[in-house]
Amino acid sequence: MCGIVGYIGKAPVVSTVLDSLSRLEYRGYDSAGIAVFNGRGIQVRKRAGKLKELASSLKRQPLEGRLGVGHTRWATHGEPSELNAHPHRDCTGELALVHNGIIENYAELKSELLGRGHRFRSQTDTEVIVHLIEEHAKQLPLPEAFRRALKELRGSYAVCLIAASDPSRLYGARCGSPLIVGLGRGETLLASDVPAVLSRTRRVLYLNDQEIAEISVEGARVTTLEGKPVVRKPVVVDWDVASAQKDGHAHFMLKEIHEQPAAIEQTLTGRLGHAQITFDRRTSAFLKELSRTERLIILGCGTAYHAGLVGEYMLEEVARLPVDVDLASEFRYRGAMLDRDTTVVAITQSGETADTLAGVKLAKEHGAKVLAICNVMGSSIARQADAVLYTHAGPEIAVASTKAYTSQLTALCLLTLALGKLRGAIPAAQWRRHLAGLQAVPGLVRNALRAEPAIKQAARRYASARNFYYLGRRYNYPSALEGALKLKEICPLIHAEGYAAGEMKHGPISLIRPGWPVVFLATGSPVYEKIVSNIEEVRARKGACIVIASEGDRAIRRHADAVISVPKTEEFFSPIVNAVPLQLFAYHVARANKCDIDQPPNLAKSVTVE
């Protein structure tokens, strides 16, 4: 959500910042802007809409300099417009600032600043920050004025500031929204996420909440909000620029769907052996303790929540461990019963989702232990957790989560099997079968991808429908929720809902009309017959049944309008394999409807505000 890029160095600032901002486009935004120090003063250019609008304006009337800050805005306070786009300036035009997050006390700060004669140009909460710094800078040196202003803010922020009076540095700070420093050779960057700096450096310094970074060409000086120096080693990121690019695919989403066999292999590498599952020392020690726990709470949002729901089926049935799954946005406010004997598993691709982070903090405040299943190393949630099971899926750029989801499910398989073994809940034969089954998953996913032409055909056939249902049972009930989420998020013309198939008769079936498409998950399971009955109920009302079934299931054809075959697997692994046709179906329906697949309107990759 919103992207920040700050740059100081020898390269032309405009092209550098625009290039880095383009690598943050996946976060979702509605306007963009840049501020550049040109040797005399600060010039600002902003445009509503996509980055290309800003880029073409800068082509017509270029700005030049070696210090600057850019931003892509996702509106929270004030409509998406040029005026409300960042950077924002103080009254003198000497300062320019960009911000991600929400300043909760902006109204009271604004009225105080108006009383002191400040002139505001936008409707944003952000503009108060730059005027507040200006106000303090009347009495204090800039670094101190910056610190003082930040202390007065309530809410969440990642900010980046440049000042005409101090062109040898830029200032960044974070509290609740991510901000990283990219340490290059003779150049330094500030950014909201790693892909923004990858074309210039892989040495990255993650800022913690309440920390300030003073950036110069030599590097970064980090201090706390109280002014205490912070010593932190940079991390060398193992992603490269190529992995953050499309590689000839029409969309990042399609590329990431096809990367799933490799991503899943990465999640398993070094952990899954022929006869055992191993983790690093810290995680192993954590799991030993966890195996004695009597209660587990899984937290997540959106797709990560759906992975958690699958985890509930896995952990309860195979590891015999009681599990509650909560939407992080509900968990944080529902007065959940937490104590030292509770373990929370936080599932998150980005590691920065505001609600999940708040849930983790809340759990820790109550003495609960936290395990994160996370894709981004060094992210806020990874740092807060007591142990982390990294999914190692590589950067996920498309807003719609695909490979992150299947690698989360893979990590949950590992977790379930390891805990089941530690708890003595898995008989030896089942253990061997599941280990072999898990080894086979990347290959099964590879085979599932081969059905793309048939899936595309089915997608085109139903692409003009405006309502879809997705139905599944047991392990594939969450698959139904995820399939519906995938479709509605990337194809905003369509309304799609997922239900537990057994719930149909309790209400949703009333809407079925002739031709209404219903996607069924009917792969092998103990409730296969029941799903077939549900298919018949929809057919009786002349709904169109698109059935995802196991290869070799000829009998299902009698019941379906369209069949999508997936490789046969045990039900335990089926949500991973079944995710592939669901993702491809959504992708091709959205493509047939000419939707903005990688950056759907109103959505952001990483929801860093509440």
Which residue ranges make up the site for ligand AGP (CB under 6 A)? 301-304, 348-350, 353, 356, 399-401, 489, 606-607
DSSP conformation class of 503: G
The CB-of-375 to ligand AGP minimum distance in angstroms stands at 8
The CB-of-381 to ligand AGP minimum distance in angstroms stands at 8
The CB-of-481 to ligand AGP minimum distance in angstroms stands at 11
For ligand AGP, the closer of residues 88 and 605 by Cβ is 605
Residue 388 tokens, joined: 């982390």
For ligand AGP, the closer of residues 302 and 517 by Cβ is 302
For ligand AGP, the closer of residues 90 and 489 by Cβ is 489
Catalytic residue ranges: 2, 605
For ligand AGP, the closer of residues 7 and 587 by Cβ is 587
DSSP conformation class of 192: S
Bond before 87 cis per omega within 30 degrees: yes
The CB-of-407 to ligand AGP minimum distance in angstroms stands at 11
Q: CA-CA distances (angstroms) from residue 131 to 48, 75, 113, 136, 275?
A: 23, 20, 7, 9, 63
For ligand AGP, the closer of residues 54 and 244 by Cβ is 244
Q: How many CA atoms lie within 13 A of 166 on its CB side?
A: 16
The CB-of-128 to ligand AGP minimum distance in angstroms stands at 28
The CB-of-301 to ligand AGP minimum distance in angstroms stands at 4
Residue 510, Cβ neighbours under 10 Å: how many? 9
Query: What residues contact residue 141 under an 8 Å CB cut-off, 6+ apart?
Result: none
CB closest to ligand AGP, residue no: 302
What is the three-class DSSP state of 474?
A: helix
Residue 26 tokens, joined: 């996946």
CA distance 548 to 546: 7
For ligand AGP, the closer of residues 302 and 394 by Cβ is 302
Per-state percent for the chain, helix, strand, coil, to nearest 5: 40, 25, 35
Q: Which runs of consecutive H residues, i.e. helices, occur in 271-402?
A: 281-290, 302-317, 328-331, 354-365, 380-384
- Which phi and psi (to 5°) does residue 585 adopt? -65, -50
Closest listed residue to residue 169, CA positions, set 188, 141, 147, 146: 188
Query: What residues contact residue 606 under an 8 Å CB cut-off, 6+ apart?
Result: 1, 27, 178, 193, 350, 352, 353
Residue 476 tokens, joined: 């594939």
For ligand AGP, the closer of residues 2 and 128 by Cβ is 2
Query: What residues contact residue 290 under an 8 Å CB cut-off, 6+ apart?
Result: 296, 343, 369, 371, 419
CA distance 289 to 386: 12
CA distance 17 to 34: 8
Q: Which runs of consecutive H residues, i.e. helices, occur in 463-524?
A: 477-490
The CB-of-307 to ligand AGP minimum distance in angstroms stands at 9
For ligand AGP, the closer of residues 377 and 607 by Cβ is 607
The CB-of-482 to ligand AGP minimum distance in angstroms stands at 8
For ligand AGP, the closer of residues 176 and 302 by Cβ is 302
Residue 300 tokens, joined: 């997540």
Closest listed residue to residue 159, CA positions, set 190, 188, 193: 190
For ligand AGP, the closer of residues 481 and 544 by Cβ is 481
Are residues 352 and 376 in contact, defined by beta-carbon separation less than 8 angstroms?
yes
The CB-of-249 to ligand AGP minimum distance in angstroms stands at 17
* E strand or H helix that includes residue 173: strand 170-175
CA pseudo-torsion sign 382, 385, 386, 391? negative
Query: What residues contact residue 426 under an 8 Å CB cut-off, 6+ apart?
Result: 318, 319, 417, 420, 434
Are residues 481 and 497 in contact, defined by beta-carbon separation less than 8 angstroms?
no
CA distance 438 to 449: 18
CA pseudo-torsion sign 79, 80, 83, 89? positive
Are β-strands 219-224 and 343-348 bridged in parallel, bridged antiparallel, or unpaired?
A: unpaired
Q: CA-CA distances (angstroms) from residue 165 to 6, 39, 42, 216, 389?
A: 17, 10, 10, 14, 46
Q: How far is CA 439 from the centre of its chain?
A: 27
The CB-of-303 to ligand AGP minimum distance in angstroms stands at 3
The CB-of-376 to ligand AGP minimum distance in angstroms stands at 8
For ligand AGP, the closer of residues 278 and 602 by Cβ is 602
Closest listed residue to residue 544, CA positions, set 500, 574, 514, 524: 514
